[in-house]
Chain A
Amino acid sequence: MSYSVQFTNVVKKFGDYKAVNNANFTVNKGEFFTLLGPSGCGKTTLLRMVAGFNEIDEGEIRFDEKVINFTPAHKRNIGMVFQNYAIFPHLSVYKNVAYGLKARKVPEKEIQKRVEEALQMVRMEEFRDRQPAQLSGGQQQRIALARAIVIHPDVLLMDEPLSNLDAKLRVEMRSIIKKLQKDLGITTIYVTHDQEEALAISDRIAVMKKGVIQQIDVPEIIYKKPANAFIANFIGTSNFIPGTIVPMGNGLQHQLTLLDKWTIEINLLKSYEGEVMVSVRPEQIELQQPQKESIQGKVILATFLGDFINYEIELENKQIIQVNEYAKAGAKLRSEGDWVSVILDPYKMNIYDEKGKEALL
């Protein structure tokens, strides 16, 4: 049985600092929901409030209609996977997974059956009699996962579960977790600081900064339409080019000028006049042979990265931007020192106000 998780005006204070500042959102039933942000942003604090390890200072957390603020941690029926796995070092694999079932006084026969099932799901059935010390990090991770799901939790919480694994294993575990979550349909809240991981695994993502949730949306929107410059910068790579906006008439039609050179007409979300930050992803920029009436730059570093080439381009204002160009068959590597035209697509850029706090496009 899976629940939705509702956060209503949730606050956590450490002294005067609000580690979680007024969180308001709902994680839907069966959803894979990720809290994403740099370290210290409050994502783990929020997760631990759901688990019952941090007190809820203000507001309410609800599983469906039921307020869980006062339910003791051990009675919340939540599965949790810890960053360092927290495998009981004195218990065998089998006993680790059976631990929560024993606490629930499940009959021995059923425990056996369910443990076997859970171990199968994480493909660890042949390790059931091992001691934790004999397991690798990835294997411990799977045991932690099996231990969390075997109790049929109402909600599954994961606190940076993949951060201690090497890159290849991380990708492998990522897909195991995602498939398992979909098969079981458990409402899952996942915490990570790794934006790539968050984009790959989540149904929806909440980006946090200094205790405040900045944006909640599906991965594609988070990536393509970041709500502010912080998110644009934190998720993936963004080039921020300064520009000027001048309104044309009274409507939403404006004129954007970049580097005093390149001017386009553009419809904004609201009326605005003054300096702006234009954010463009490296792969959304096109490089062409130098031509007048366009932004120009000089290649200062070319890095071959397999399926694409990364260029560092120095613009006329001395700013250096990143551009990724797909390595098409027969395409020649641009040389350092080459001059190029930098072509921007108004439909593939984001415009923020001067301070980067509000999206204008």
Chain B
Amino acid sequence: MIVNEKKKSPVFHHMMDFWNIITIISLIILTITLLYPFSSLILKSFIDKTGESFTVKNYINFFKLPYYFSTLKHSLVVCLLSTFFATLVGLPMAYISTRFNIYGKKILNLMVILSLMSPPFIGAYAWILMLGRNGFLTRALESIGLRVPPIYGLKGIVLVFTLKFFPYIYLYVSGALQSIDSSLEEAAENLGVSGFKKIMTVTFPLILPTISAGALMVFMTSLADFGTPMLIGEGYKVLPVLVYEEFMSEIGGNVSMASTLSVIIVLCSLTVLFIQKKIIAKKNYTMSALRPPKVKELTLGKRILATVFCFLVALIAMSQQIVVIVTSFLKTSGPLFLKEFSLESYRLVRHRLSHNISNTFAFSTIAIIIMIIAGMLLSYVIVRKRTKITGILDMLIMFPYVIPGAVLGITLLVAFNQGPIILSGTAVIMILSYVIRKLPYTIRSSTAILYQIDPSIEEASINLGVSPMKTFFKTTARLMAPGIFSGATLSWITTINELSSSIILYTGRTATISVAIYTEVIRASFGTAAALASILTLTTVISILIFNKISGSQGVSL
């Protein structure tokens, strides 16, 4: 009898080798690009201004000085209000559009996705154009004797966030509503419960986890957004704006205080994430509708009313893009738009800002290629080679989900400004931040599809004589393609629109479109900003349309 205790059979050796190498390389890269920068950041937050001695003074100051502490309160107020209103808008819209036969559902979906995918601060900018001190709506209303209070401050931020982020609720909840098997609601009716009571006792509890997941997205993105409060907040300062100011201040930024603030934001995000997970723990129902719920036929009047409601909301949400595109074709005189069409803004862009456009596309293309390859390999490691180590890998990769862009920017800059690796001011650091920040989208949708691919398909291929490596590329990767593609589309769109880390990391040479839009707005060069924003919007629309065309589905999955 031969007992093989130490020797492992070579087939497993071989398979484990390749994936082990992938795991190890990924861990090394993540250590350098994520763990090391974050440790530096945390370390920095405990070092005083002079950069010498260890101190907790930054943290004490944060909680003691109202200048700092008020921003935390502001951020929380903004996030809570935005989440509340986004849910208030998104929930009924999702219910109406999935359960009733309203007109133009596909267009409605596309409009909603578009308003979510616009560059983050364009909403703020557009609403200033409409309802700002000099906004055309403000003036129009004044001319008929109506004085509207200016849009700036808390209400402006909440308005923009609500309109921009309600799509999260809408898209998540629509999906969940369609996955409730109709038998569940029929059972409720059969037991004598109907109408509103049925919704409250069956439908609502079933989609509650989804609502909370959507609400979490609204809260987190509101907490992380930097461009909107910067433009429209004015005196109402929120945390990310403070971080930016502390870091970039022209009178010599206070890096250690900025680090402290960054750590605090990340802690806030993690707390919220933790609370949400705690709330929905054990309440996650896996549902797959054998028979999707019935779409109820409305009478003509009600049908029109429901349609009008949905499209009105979607239109208001999209008004930012419409305003931007229209104004991009207007002649300008300094900061003012004239009532005359021209392509002047576009000429100026081509003349002065074309390198921003090529930067955006070059960086994003490189980033997306890296993300696709990494997404494919890492999701396989995470799903199929599950060990404690790959579990850590999974956590590390998903961690940037809760890091606001500005914080990531500062983190990378603090780490790679000095020391063994210097990357500040290079394209590499921009691409790095994009990959770290947007990779989770690709990974999430790649792992989701991988869970649906039966492992026996791979085994069948190996069994038929194709080596495990070849099997991965010939079969598994091929079957994963739709999932990778859908996640990559989302990564791509959010990358080309990325502002908050770019604004920290860019130099003149590496400025992107969104950075240029921001600086142009600050310089009151509204025409060129509008033209650039239109280019971004158009690219986004085309990307979504290409995706829909290829995948044949109705939209990117979030």
Contacts and interface: CB of A to CB of B under 8 A. Distances in A.
A82 B460 CA distance: 8
A103 B466 contact: yes
Interface string B464-494: 1111100100010011000000000000000
A109 B471 CA distance: 24
A301 interface: no
A8 B3 CA distance: 11
B479 A58 contact: no
Contact of B464 (A9, A53, A69, A151): A151
Contacts of A195: none
A89 B479 contact: yes
Contacts of B11: 52, 70-74
Interface stretch (B111-119, B332-340, B451-459): B451-459
Q: Identify the 4 closest CB pairs spanning chains A and B, nearest first.
A: A100-B464, A72-B11, A86-B460, A103-B465
Interface of B: 1-5, 7-12, 14, 454, 456-457, 459-468, 471, 475, 478-479
B459 A100 contact: no
Given A58-B3, A59-B1, A74 B460 contact: no
Contact of A78 (B14, B463, B471, B475): B463
Contacts of B467: 72, 74
Contacts of A51: 459, 463
Between A55, A73, A77, the greatest number of chain B beta carbons within 10 A of the residue's beta carbon is seen for: A73
Chain A interface mostly helix, strand, loop or mixed? loop
A80 interface: yes
Contacts, number: 94
Contact of A56 (B9, B462, B471, B475): B9
* Secondary structure type dominating chain B contacts: helix
Contact of B10 (A70, A84, A151): A70
A99 interface: yes
B465 A75 contact: yes
B456 A83 contact: yes
A120 to B, nearest CB: 20
Contacts of A103: 464-466
A80 B463 CA distance: 7
A239 to B, nearest CB: 40
B454 A84 contact: yes
Interface string A60-101: 100000000111111111111011101111100000000110
A193 interface: no
Interface of A: 8-9, 51-53, 55-60, 69-80, 82-84, 86-90, 99-100, 103-104, 147, 151
A72 B10 contact: yes
A175 B7 CA distance: 42
A256 to B, nearest CB: 42
Nearest to A159: B456
Contacts of B471: 74
Nearest to A151: B464
B505 to A, nearest CB: 41
13 contacts: A52-B11, A52-B462, A52-B463, A56-B4, A59-B2, A60-B2, A71-B9, A71-B11, A72-B14, A83-B456, A88-B475, A100-B466, A103-B464
B483 to A, nearest CB: 13
A100 B465 CA distance: 6
Nearest to B463: A80
A86 B454 contact: yes
A58 B459 contact: no
B465 A69 contact: no
Contacts of B9: 52, 55-56, 69-72
A186 to B, nearest CB: 15
Given A70-B9, A73-B11, A76-B463, 15 more contacts: A55-B9, A57-B4, A58-B4, A59-B1, A71-B11, A72-B11, A73-B459, A73-B462, A74-B464, A74-B465, A74-B466, A74-B471, A80-B459, A88-B457, A99-B466
Contacts of A8: 1
B465 A151 contact: yes
Contacts of B479: 89-90
Contacts of A59: 1-3
Contact of A88 (B2, B14, B461): B461
B226 to A, nearest CB: 43
A89 B480 CA distance: 12
